[in-house]
Chain A
Amino acid sequence: MNEIAVSFGPGKHLSGTLALPDELGQRDVGFLMLNAGVIHRIGPHRFNVKLARRLASQGWPSLRFDLAGQGDSDNAPQAQPFDRQIVADLRAAMDHLERTTGLKRFVIAGICSGAHRGLAVAQEDERVMGLWMLDGYAYPSGRSRLQRYLLQWRRDPAATLRAWAAWPLRYLAKRLSRPAPAADGGEPLEIDYGHSTPAPDDFAAMLDKLDRRGGRVFLMHTGGMLWRYSYAQQFHDVFGDRPFAARVRCDFLPDIDHTLTTLSAQRRVIDAIAGWAGEVFGPQDAASKQKPA
């Protein structure tokens, strides 16, 4: 395994680390890893480094990098709006991995906001053929709503009773109040930090688009998402009637936390990703071998 510090993108403003297996050409997909929230590219508890090294030991090259303005990356020379810049940065990372390894198909491994970024770029760049999303988007089912109420009740019955008693009042207050209008008289201002959750149908359409071109998705939900994702079959209860659902792997890991704080959690997740990659992307066949540039 060889790790190389690289700068790439317009103006070389992006900073990353290539992790290359001893022998290129064993696999025909490469992995990309990026920031999780505000953490630089090593990931929470150095998870991205550990994942990249494991993947390289099994023949998969990867590029872990910092988005513009984060970690060791500079701002883009001609910065775009936040969401557009992220897509541009991820595409620049794919360009770089393609140039250095000859690969043309990529998996984006993202945690939390990193998972959201991966899904966004998969809509725009057909080179994205796989997504691993840890605690990305989650959608409730009837059972998960009930479990949420029960969880709340078990944790603090008195507070839960008070909250339930206040529901009618809150509902009424919401009906009567309206968000403040914008100063320019435009749409009311609401704070969503620019990351509103897509509607279930929109999310399904995004997964469907990836599925139709042969892409594969591995969703993982930890105990840190328990309020929104609370049992193993939840994804399939919500999306099970969609054509792509049977090909989406969705693991529920309630005993693991959102940032993989224990070494055993890190090992378990890395094992799962490496196993999934081997199953769905397998060894490269001779006909499709890419020559490194």
Chain B
Amino acid sequence: MTPFRFGPAARQLYGVFHPAAPAQQRGVAVLVCSPFGQESIRFHRMLRVLSDRLASRGIGVLRFDYFGVGESAGDDDEGDLLGWRDDVLIAHNELLRRSRATRVIWLGARLGATIAAIASSQLPSPADRLILWEPVADGRSYLRELETAHARALADAGSPPPASTTPTAIVDEALGFGVSAALLEQLGRLVQADLEAAKAKQVILVLPPHQTAGPALAQGLARSGLQTRVVEFSHVFDWSSEEALSTALVPAPVLEMLATHIEAASDE
């Protein structure tokens, strides 16, 4: 595992490369596109464990922080979807250079899946595989989710006076992270069609059962000529809970699900 910084001097990104075990090399690597804000913190340990496992089985992994996120340069309120889209493309090239893989699988979760889909549309040739776990296909709904989670987090925080659980519109922060005006505006305009522009040889769409928007997204991707497979995954990952509470950091069903799909894709 190698932590490092990469990208343009004015936009240094933090990444961690997990090289494939030499004896197990499959010529395949995975680029991870993390979720946003608190969901990213919540997902960090999961990704670390997953990356170690994949690397030990011959699949190199690069996980990284977008600009203004985590360990990367930039303040919270300097992040936006278009900048993060370009960060994914820079990370993709960095992964190719470090791994020397001939095929690259992109794994995205939540808003990271959305960013991955949008970024793939900029690739000169289609991504080998996009695995999109619960992508955000409706920016306004996502903002409402953030508003609700933010209000709940403040109410649960325990400090008096008790905060209201009634969500209010996000202005410049969500769940402890600054949010730029550009990001708010871009999320407000984000629709399913943005994801349908994805460019990939195959898309695996991992969705919770009975998600109302799921079939429409799958149909939309298929209509756009993308070979799409829907995987129903019933485990509820606690995306935005406060990290200090005692919920499982690395639920075995999630680890198995992600590792299984990535390893199956790498064997094809």
What residues of chain A have their CB less than 8 Å away from a CB belonging to chain B? 3-5, 7, 15, 17, 36-42, 44-46, 49-50, 71-72, 74, 112, 222-224, 226, 254-263, 266
Which residues of A are found within 8 Å of B2, using beta-carbon distances? 7
Query: Complex Cα distance A5/B64, Å?
Result: 13
Shortest CB–CB separation between residue A257 and chain B, in angstroms? Answer: 3
**16 CB < 8 A contacts A-B:** A5-B4, A5-B14, A37-B244, A38-B243, A44-B41, A46-B177, A49-B70, A49-B71, A50-B75, A112-B244, A223-B158, A224-B158, A257-B158, A257-B159, A259-B176, A263-B172
A259 and B41 CA atoms in complex are apart in Å by 13
- Whether A266 lies near B159 (C-beta < 8 A) is no
> Smallest distance from the beta carbon of A134 to chain B beta carbons, Å?
12
From A40, A223, A259, give the contact of B242 (CB < 8 A): A259
The complex places the Cα of A254 from the Cα of B44 at a distance, in Å, of 30
A257, A261, A263, A266, most chain B CB atoms within 10 A: A261
Which residues in window 211-243 of B have CB below 8 A to A? Answer: 242-243
B53 contacts the other chain (CB 8 A)? no
Q: Which residues of A contact B243 (CB under 8 A)?
A: 37-39, 44, 259
Complex CA gap A58/B157 in Å reads: 31
Residue from the list A49, A74, A261 in contact with B153, Cβ < 8 A: A261
Partner of B159 from A41, A50, A71, A223 at Cβ < 8 Å: A223
Cβ proximity bits B50-93 to A, threshold 8 Å, 1 near / 0 not: 00000000000000000001110101100000000000000000
Instruction: Return chain A residues, CB-CB under 8 Å to B144.
Output: none
Q: Which residue of A lies closest to B172 (CB)?
A: A263
- A223 to B161, alpha carbons, bound, how many Å? 10
B236 to chain A, nearest CB (A): 20
The answer to whether A262 and B154 touch across the interface, beta carbons within 8 angstroms, is yes
A226–B70 touching, CB < 8 Å: no
CB of A45 within 8 A of CB of B16, answer no
Does B182 reach chain A (CB closer than 8 Å)?
Answer: no
Contact B176 A39 (CB under 8 A): no
> Closest residue of chain A to B156, judged by CB?
A257
- Asked whether B48 is an interface residue with its Cβ less than 8 Å from the other chain, the reply is yes
Known contacts A7-B3, A49-B71: A261-B158 contact under CB 8 Å: no
**Minimal beta-carbon separation of B184 from chain A (angstroms):** 15
Task: Return the 8 tightest CB-CB contacts between A and B, nearest first.
Answer: A223-B159, A45-B176, A257-B157, A5-B3, A257-B159, A263-B173, A261-B176, A15-B3
* Contact A42 B176, beta carbon cutoff 8 Å: no
A254 cross-chain contacts in B, Cβ below 8 A: 159-160
Q: How far is the CA of A224 from the CA of B160 in the complex (A)?
A: 9
- Nearest B residue to A36 via CB reads B244
Q: How far is B2's CA from A5's CA once the two chains are assembled, in angstroms? A: 10
Chain A: minimal CB distance from B233 (Å): 24
Question: How far does the alpha carbon of A181 sit from the alpha carbon of B75 in the complex, in Å?
Answer: 53
CB pair B157 A224 closer than 8 Å: yes
At the interface, yes or no: B266 with Cβ under 8 Å from chain A? no
Residues in chain B near residue A222, CB distance under 8 A: 159
Measured CB to CB, the closest approach of chain A to B244, in angstroms, equals 5
Please, how many angstroms separate the alpha-carbon atoms of A37 and B161 in the complex? 26
Question: Which of B5, B45, B157, B160 counts the most chain A CB atoms within 10 A?
Answer: B157
Q: A38-B249, A72-B1, A256-B159 are in contact. Are A44 and B176 (CB under 8 A)?
A: yes
On chain B, the residues within 8 Å of A39 by CB distance are 41, 243-244
Cβ contact within 8 Å between A261 and B160: no
